[in-house]
Chains A and B, each alone.
Chain A
């Protein structure tokens, strides 16, 4: 069964550094998402992406965050200058259609630790 893959599984970075989290969505999917989960808290929506542009973003997704689909397979999340509070699990997801009749498929996440 096709799956969403994320790399790296764990990233440690120093405060103020830039990080790029990578995702390979399911190959025929067109809609892409990033979510995050701070330890012990709820899964939170960050951003959705379609047709090479952001279609929706949450308040968390400020100017420090950006997303890109640099080629036909990868989908990346960049954090320009990391803060301690960015430490979390980051999940990428994809779906085939934008309707409620289409489930999201999630990767197993990248654990980001900012020191």
Chain B
């Protein structure tokens, strides 16, 4: 499986943008880049995903490098509710009957008021 590398932790101030980096230098051409987050005492929550082009949704933006070996999750204005562990995961297609996510350690985002 292609692996991802993320910083263990990051800090941000409330109301400021946050850029969470992820390296995935061994990504294959068919791997989608997924981001999930896990708030304290909750299950993982889907944030955003993409393949080659940058993506935007109501939660965040995903910027994907042209060579696809890295990506950045962008929270445009961090709130205290965004404090969570953020996981960058490559979605591996195992077979036609489903596939799994391999979670790493993620980046613990702390948001200061």
- CB-contact partner of B44 in A43, A99, A101, under 8 A: A43
Chain B residues within 8 Å of A49, by CB: 98
Q: Does B16 contact A (CB under 8 A)?
A: no
- CB-contact partner of A100 in B38, B45, B91, under 8 A: B91
Q: Is the interface of A mostly helix, strand, loop or mixed?
A: strand
The interface bits of chain B over 79-109 (1 if a CB of A lies within 8 angstroms of the residue's CB, else 0) are 0000000010001111111111111110000
Q: Is the beta-carbon distance between B97 and A31 smaller than 8 angstroms?
A: yes
Contact residues, A37-72 vs B (CB, 8 A): 42-45, 48-51, 55-56
Q: Is the interface of B mostly helix, strand, loop or mixed?
A: loop
Q: Is the beta-carbon distance between A91 and B93 smaller than 8 angstroms?
A: no
Q: How far apart are the CA atoms of A91 and B36 in the complex, in Å?
A: 14
Q: Does A16 contact B (CB under 8 A)?
A: no
Q: Does A107 contact B (CB under 8 A)?
A: yes
A44-B103, A56-B94 known; A104+B46 contact, CB < 8 A: yes
Q: Which 5 pairs, one residue from A and one from B, show the smallest C-beta to C-beta distance?
A: A100-B32, A100-B91, A55-B97, A106-B43, A43-B103
Besides A31-B98, A48-B97, A98-B96, 9 other A-B contacts (C-beta < 8 A): A33-B98, A42-B103, A43-B38, A43-B44, A98-B93, A98-B95, A98-B98, A103-B34, A106-B43
